[in-house]
Structure 1
Amino acid sequence: MPEVNFYDEVDDSLLKFAVIISKADGKWVFCKHKERDTYEIPGGHREEGELILDTAKRELREETGAIDFNIKPICVYSVKGKTRVNKNENDESYGMLYVADIFLFEEIHSEIEKIIFTDELVDDWTYPLIQPKLIEEAQKRGFL
């Protein structure tokens, strides 16, 4: 089972992902990938030479269609253990966790089939052992 850890900071070169806990009009925003029947928090991989904040903004725009939003960093998170990204039990991958309030959307042109807006957290998570923990940490730190 993957282990999720939280840090105030790590070396920038370790940050490979950005995940953005998002709300619009007070409702949670979740994405459904075209190839899955589950929902997830917007986010994705950092591109070569990209600032991690730019990764977060790009992924939020690509996965939700958000074009007007406020975004703030929460903390660094890591996932240790075998996952789709980590090939071995001892591998640890790092990402930056953000929170965003979205005010305006445009049409999505990406691998995302649709986004949903909900008052409650989803039950059918794509990453059930990871993403609920990210939301819990954001709540503990007073961001939600």
Structure 2
Amino acid sequence: MMKINWFTTYQIPDELVTFAVILAKYNKDYVIIKNRNRGGWEIPGGRREEGETIQQTACRELYEETGAVKFNTAPYGIYSYNDTYGMAFVAEVVEIEKLPDFEIEEIKFVEVLPRNLNFGILFHHLTEKLEEVKSKLDWQSVHMKN
């Protein structure tokens, strides 16, 4: 079974945080994505690119994987598994445009996260942790259009 450790957003040095995952909702439904390469459904997220802040990674990945161009987002914790660290974000998507032509085959909106998600144990853990901290979040409004 996958061992997941949980930390506050300031407990792990920034340079060690290499992934961002985004628990996103649009019209009160979770946004899940189908990756062309892996198959199966998952929540948006990905690897931090050189020169990015982890917040920029989260915003870029949310746009690339869902087409979200206007949203409110907040970090709410850091997870670790397999010796890597990722920052967990929550997002309330306001506006979605056409899905960019990246690695995502399809997006879907669901009321409840399916049990059989890729990395499902991690994503369900992130959902539980969000419930513990959601009243204390520091939201940022993002608009991806130029």
> Shared fold (TM-score greater than 0.5)?
yes
Match of 2:108 in 1: 116
Match of 1:96 in 2: 87
Separation (CA, whole Å) in 1 of partners of 2:40 and 2:130: 22
Secondary structure in 2 matching 1:3? coil
Separation (CA, whole Å) in 2 of partners of 1:128 and 1:57: 22
Separation (CA, whole Å) in 1 of partners of 2:132 and 2:41: 23
Match of 2:69 in 1: 67
Alignment deviations for residues 64-96 of structure 1 (CA, whole Å, 9 cap, x no partner): 00001001110111113xxxxxxxxxxx10011
**Total equivalences in the alignment:** 133
> Which of the residues 125, 137, 143 maps onto 2:129?
137
| Percent of pairs with identical residues | 39
Structure 1 residue 13 displacement after superposition: 0.6
| TM norm structure 2 | 0.85
Alignment deviations for residues 79-128 of structure 1 (CA, whole Å, 9 cap, x no partner): 13xxxxxxxxxxx1001100000011111221101110011111321112
For structure 2, which runs of at least 5 residues remain unmatched after alignment? 136-146
Structure 1 letter corresponding to 2:95: L
Secondary structure in 1 matching 2:65? helix
Structure 1 letter corresponding to 2:81: V
For structure 1, which runs of at least 5 residues remain unmatched after alignment? 81-91
User: Pairwise CA RMSD of aligned residues?
Assistant: 1.5
> Which of the residues 43, 54, 57 maps onto 1:55?
57
Match of 1:106 in 2: 97
Structure 1 residue 138 displacement after superposition: 1.0
Match of 1:83 in 2: none
